[in-house]
Chain A
Amino acid sequence: MNFLPADFTPVYSEIFMLIMVCVVMLTDLAAGEKRRYITYVLTQTALLGCAVITFVTFSAEATHQFSGLFVDDAMADILKIMVYVTVSAVLIYSYTYLKERGILTGELFCLVLFATLGMMVMISASHFLTLYIGLELLSLSLYALVALQRNSIVATEAAMKFFVLGALASGFLLYGMSMVYGATGSLHIAQVSEVIQSGVSNHEVLVIGLVFIVAGISFKLSAAPFHMWAPDVYEGAPTAITLFIGSAPKLAAFAFVMRLLIEGLGEMSADWQGMLVILAVMSMAIGNVVAIAQTNIKRMLAYSTISHMGFLILGFISADWNGYSSSLFYVITYVLMTLGIFAMIMILSRSGFEAENISDFKGLAKRNPWYALMTMLLMFSLAGIPPMVGFYAKFAVLQAVVNAGYVWLAVVAVVFSLIGAFYYLRIVKFMYFDAPETKEPLTVKPDVKVLVSANSLAVLALGVFPQSLMGLSLYAIQNTM
């Protein structure tokens, strides 16, 4: 057997990221409180550098590396670039918010970058252990981020809940993975798939493992009935951190489902389809119905996330490339919309005032017509009204579901999205139909202003010209499977 030195090209971006985390950490020690913007710029540079590396080393061919622990394929590269862009936008949106609340610390940047690294590893994992390591790196960073506001009781409580339930979910996952290992004798995703295909493994053991894995995945996706942590964490965490939790990790979670459920256990689709149907229906039902009763905007968005995750899961149910690419399209548009809406919440907040209630949007159209218009675009997109991109996301998923023969499921989905439309409309109502409660002008930094406008207009532009993003999703999936 020849010993081949490993080719490090596929992991250049991860290595670069790791180095940059250390650089950021050390630089921050030297720069200190006064010159924190140096840390900030360095963090953005790290993300930009990773984007450049990933872009340059892009190849449609899948390369497996390090005895099959790591894979670099089209989907991985595309998702990673999305993650960099998302994290970078999150930091731009959050800068002022964090600074005003005194949590613009060096640790924050390190933790965000570590979480990003975790997502990158997750996205490129082709082995259960790599997947798990990436997930834990992400999760542990997130727990710490939620608890960053030490003096806040709600934030600490949220962090505790997040940590305990997250650890439980990780336990589920590990247990499921060990069952699968017991049945197939391998932790390599490709080998697991082969063994299952050959039919020599014990089906009962596999199914038990599958149940735990699906439960673990649902925790991470915040799909009902494993959604309990989401509203509390969304509400308790500082808005900037909520934005981070609600955006980029969803992209990683998509990759997680793809690697684990589709690539690894795709042969068992008949077994997991039924489970996913239940998860999807429950998520859409609980998410949309409970969101109506919320007065706290972050809680409402948490429930809205749950319902969107239900839609995301719908795409997987068809168990073909059509559905997966629809789900990928869905998750990308979802992240785009989440970024925009949380940015709006932070714009409405100011030092000493948290825009937490839905009624804080009252009269926004009179206070600032431009941001009201931008928020309205986002809201109609979340509700799935054309010509916003949210419509095509739902459309793509629904056509996959109908194509797989689940017409009734599509009907259930649209009925719940009708219910969901109500609470998005309610925000439009507050902005446009009600009088403002405060005349306080909105002070927004120019970079945030440009980015948030671009973000919202992208929701409209992608809605008018959805082909580019749809083509990209299709390309990513077809080159991976």
Chain B
Amino acid sequence: MSVGFPLLSLIIWLPILFGIAVFSTGGDHNAQPARWIALIGSILGFLVAIPLYTEFDPTTSVMQFTENRVWFERFNVNYHLGVDGISMPLILLNCFTTPLVVIAGWQVIQQRVSQYLGAFLMMSGIVNGVFASLDAVLFYVFWEASLIPMFLIIGIWGGPNRVYAAIKFFLYTLLGSLLMLIAFIYLYRSSGGSFSIADYHQLSIPFTAQILIFIAFLLAFAVKVPMWPVHTWLPDAHVEAPTGGSVVLAAIMLKLGGYGFLRFSLPIVPDASHYLAEMMIVLSLIAVVYIGLVALMQADMKKLIAYSSVAHMGFVTLGFFLFNAYGVEGAMVQMISHGFISGAMFLCVGVLYDRLHSRQIADYGGVVNKMPFFAAFFMLFAMANAGLPGTSGFVGEFMVIMGSVQVNFWYAFLAATTLIFGAAYTLWMYKRVIFGAVASPAVEGLQDISNREFILLAVLALAVLWLGIYPFPLTDVMHVSVDNLLEHVSNSKL
């Protein structure tokens, strides 16, 4: 279905324009207007994205809400937008997260407020652009442009080691993307001068070229996901980023990589994907098992959640390369659910950090005595992170495990260990932070969450529970697109 109204453009450019407006409010004497404009912009951004879901036709896998205009004809690049069941939920997730991030930074950020909020709004629009692009160059432009605001967010408002983390984040992701650019140019040449992603899906490519293109894509997407062993930027970036930055990183940025696999790697080079599937599965399982163990040993809460993100994203890549419906759909659900859960976990840590200015587990203990509401919310999210049935964390992981049983029992066995490790590292951290005797005078002085924080966590809690109990609204919209993708991937393109 194609509506005449350029809805996707609105979803992309509205946050960016609001971001510029927030930016132009200037110095910190205007902080309050900046906050309000940012909040209105982000909520409007979410509201305009709702028709994307309500008007979406889940019975077809063709691109919907398409827009196509010539952007520059010299290289036949088009401003071509559209969504299917794979990209639409991710856009909604992004639009949903942005207001939360704005609210989360409401009081905490007191320096260069307009720049902070402006950067987040622009980033929100840019990320929508990544998910909605159907032209490889347009995709690349949005993809790279998203690095700039994140770089500034980590570098300006981050922790003590922020400069290192920001530059590491930027260069790591740039390395992968540049090779992807060359792959695009190669495809442009072999498709006879087209940058349309749909054209690439139909293009037959010789095997060696497929392998090379796969590797170029892999570097770009694996860094973003991040997969073991290119995950090392993530803990640094997360630890140093401000709370909002961590939330966006975990909830949104990591999904760009996962989305890339579905939109590019699998359909463009299916033979190479099949050929290298075992390697991908092994890398994913290493992420699940080994990184799960690494997370167990972290003394820093943010680092622990960062590593748990890597482990959870391992499930996503595992699901993709099983090439069955359970696997891919499970991975998609896992991506959305991880967006909610990791976002919520980082917000919880942010709540503690704002009060005590420490992320060390050892500095806490007995928080439940002082912050009972907070402890309840944190409990729910910790359980979801561990994959408790009834929460969204369970649905995705369970579907991926089901999918892997169909392929190989041992894949399923190793993947299922996450239910143990995940519970171990999350609940052990929870126990040390929340329970026990009040650890220090600082903890003694803690105030429970404010109304603002309550709303924030309550919204996320509802999302986590809703997706855990009744995930069909999500799986229904992606079902046809995923089936179509799997069918496409099962055909050789040699």
Contacts and interface: CB of A to CB of B under 8 A. Distances in A.
Interface stretch (B1-9, B143-151, B298-306, B312-320): B143-151
Nearest to A329: B74
A467 B78 CA distance: 11
Given A380-B148, A386-B145, A466-B72, A418 B185 contact: no
Contact of B179 (A385, A403, A411, A465): A411
Contacts of B175: 418
B181 interface: yes
Interface string B169-210: 011001100110110011011000000000000000000000
B148 A385 contact: yes
Contacts of B152: 432
B185 A421 contact: no
A139 interface: no
A386 B155 contact: no
B185 A402 contact: yes
Interface stretch (A6-14, A90-98, A391-399): A391-399
Interface stretch (B159-167, B256-264, B431-439, B450-458): B159-167
A422 interface: yes
A470 interface: yes
A395 B115 CA distance: 30
Nearest to A467: B72
A429 interface: yes
B181 A395 contact: yes
Contact of B181 (A414, A429, A474): A414
B155 A421 contact: no
Nearest to A470: B74
A396 B188 CA distance: 12
Given A429-B166, A467-B72, A467-B74, A403 B189 contact: yes
A418 B185 CA distance: 17
A18 to B, nearest CB: 37
Contact of B178 (A396, A418, A428, A465): A418
Nearest to A370: B26
Given A417-B178, A418-B174, A474 B74 contact: yes
Contacts of A55: none
A433 interface: yes
B71 interface: yes
Contact of B182 (A407, A429, A432, A466): A407
A472 to B, nearest CB: 10
A332 to B, nearest CB: 14
Interface size class of A (residues with CB under 8 A): 20 to 34
A111 B141 CA distance: 42
Contacts of B188: 399
B74 A402 contact: no
Interface residues of B, number: 35
Contact of B73 (A396, A428, A433, A467): A467
A106 to B, nearest CB: 43
Contacts of A387: 141, 145
A312 to B, nearest CB: 18
A399 B145 contact: no
Nearest to B190: A402
A471 interface: yes
Nearest to B162: A433
Given A385-B148, A386-B140, A395-B181, A421 B189 contact: no
Contacts of A402: 182, 185-186, 189
Contacts of B74: 396, 466-467, 470-471, 474
Interface string A455-466: 000000000011
Contacts of B140: 386
B157 to A, nearest CB: 10
B156 A429 contact: no
Given A422-B167, A429-B155, A474-B74, A391 B144 contact: yes
A25 interface: no
Interface string A69-89: 000000000000000000000
Contact of B71 (A380, A386, A417, A467): A467
B409 interface: no
Interface string B53-95: 0000000000000000001111100000000000000000000
Contacts of A385: 144-145, 147-148, 174
Contacts of A23: none
B73 A414 contact: no
A421 B170 contact: yes
6 A-B pairs with least C-beta separation: A467-B72, A414-B178, A386-B141, A470-B74, A402-B185, A433-B155
19 contacts: A369-B26, A369-B27, A386-B145, A395-B181, A398-B181, A398-B185, A399-B185, A399-B189, A402-B186, A414-B179, A422-B171, A425-B151, A425-B170, A429-B166, A432-B156, A433-B163, A433-B166, A466-B72, A470-B72
Given A402-B182, A467-B73, 14 more contacts: A385-B147, A395-B181, A398-B181, A403-B185, A403-B189, A410-B182, A411-B182, A414-B178, A415-B178, A421-B170, A429-B163, A433-B155, A465-B72, A466-B74
